[in-house]
Amino acid sequence: MFAETRKVSCVKNSKSGYGWIALGLLFLISSCNREYQPKPKGYNRLVLPLAEYQISPDSLPYQFEYSTSAKLLRDSSWISERNWVEIYYPSLKANVHITYKKLDNREQFLKELLNDSYNLTSKQQIKASAIDEVIVVTPSGKTAVIAEIAGEVPSQFQFTMTDSSKNFLRGALYFNTKVQNDSLAPAIEFMKKETLHFINTLQWKN
């Protein structure tokens, strides 16, 4: 009596074990047939400043609009000159560095400045994956040469503006962070638009 009961119990456990093994194999087979879908690349959440602007101070020989969320600072570098400024965006740790030169109808001086600007942009080629240069005309009829630089570069956007006789201005965008440019993509695109707003609103005072 006891022998028969034990035998039946043994058979039941055996069938149950085979069932789990079969279920496990079925799961493995179905898993192997599934296509892997990579997760989209994520970016850090950035709070972008509002599109609200103010006029630059009268102390400069040129005028422009810049964000109310930005700080207008004097250039603090050792080579800085009187009319050089930095437009700093604290929330993005972004900086648009502006240099200015008075030409006084010196054609050779203008050529030197343009050549220096070209060389500064060309230095980005070491790490750049692409450099796109375009010439744009602002609503007020001014001409700007813009260079958009892709890749892990320190400056992603540079430009020059001149009236060829009295004024020459150069701008360059930088981020004061070690984060890779892929992660900074939304901030870079925002700052490009901000820099274009600077270009479109720039006015010479003399």
Domain ranges of the chain: 1-37, 53-204
Q: Is the dihedral of CA 5, 8, 13, 14 positive or negative?
A: positive
Q: What is the pLDDT of residue 14?
A: 46
Q: How far apart are CA 183 and CA 93, in angstroms?
A: 14
Q: Give the tokens for residue 94.
A: 């972004």
Antiparallel, parallel or unpaired: β 167-175 and 53-55? unpaired
Its pTM stands at 0.74
Structure-token match 């270009």, residue found: 199
Q: Provide the β-strand partners of residue 169.
A: 100, 161
Q: What is the pLDDT of residue 19?
A: 54
What residues have CB less than 8 Å from 74, skipping those under 6 apart?
Answer: 80, 84, 85, 86
- CATH value of 53-204 in 3.40.1000, 2.20.28, 1.10.3470, 1.20.950: 3.40.1000
**Among 195, 203, 178, 202, CA closest to 87:** 195
Q: How far apart are CA 206 and CA 202, in angstroms?
A: 13
Q: How far apart are CA 87 and CA 201, in angstroms?
A: 15
- 124 CB neighbour count, 10 Å cutoff: 19
Q: Give the tokens for residue 171.
A: 């701008």
Average pLDDT per 10 consecutive residues for the chain, totaling 206 residues:
39 48 48 45 66 94 97 90 95 95 95 93 80 90 92 89 95 83 85 96 92
